[in-house]
Structure 1
Amino acid sequence: MATLLEKAFERAAKLPAAEQDQIATLMLDEMEDELEWQAKFSRDAVKLDEIARDVRAQILHGETLPLIPDELPE
């Protein structure tokens, strides 16, 4: 186990059970969310590659405009 994670568990172990449960819930939710994002990106990887190729071609052919945040509509 990573040293930082061990340190976090040691500190969490000193907290009341209710707070430990809150921390555990947050960690499990975050890990589940990460797995969902990884699955989504792996399913969409081919499409994302196509989009990236199209955008690079548009940039190469001068078909894009620079993004100037100060000039974006509100």
Structure 2
Amino acid sequence: MADPEWRTKVSPEGETRKRVCRFTDLDGKARTFDMHARFIPGVGRIHFRLVPEERTIRLAHIGSKTRPGL
């Protein structure tokens, strides 16, 4: 499946930041939700992952930029 055409800027996190993008998925497994869209003003992020087999996305975090240890 090709990546969707987004109406806003969507990009993956860099390799060094992927470690702070792990969240518990609906099935209880920890997964990397490294795709993100920004919302402004400020440092807001919407973190998600693509679920191609369902042709959907799964949201993990809506809020401030994720930081290590939080």
Higher strand proportion (structure 1 or 2): 2
Q: Shorter-chain-normalised TM-score: which range?
A: under 0.3
Larger Rg: 1
Bigger helix share? 1
TM-score, normalised relative to structure 1: 0.17
For CA contacts below 8 A with separation 6 or more, give which structure has more relative contact order.
Answer: 2
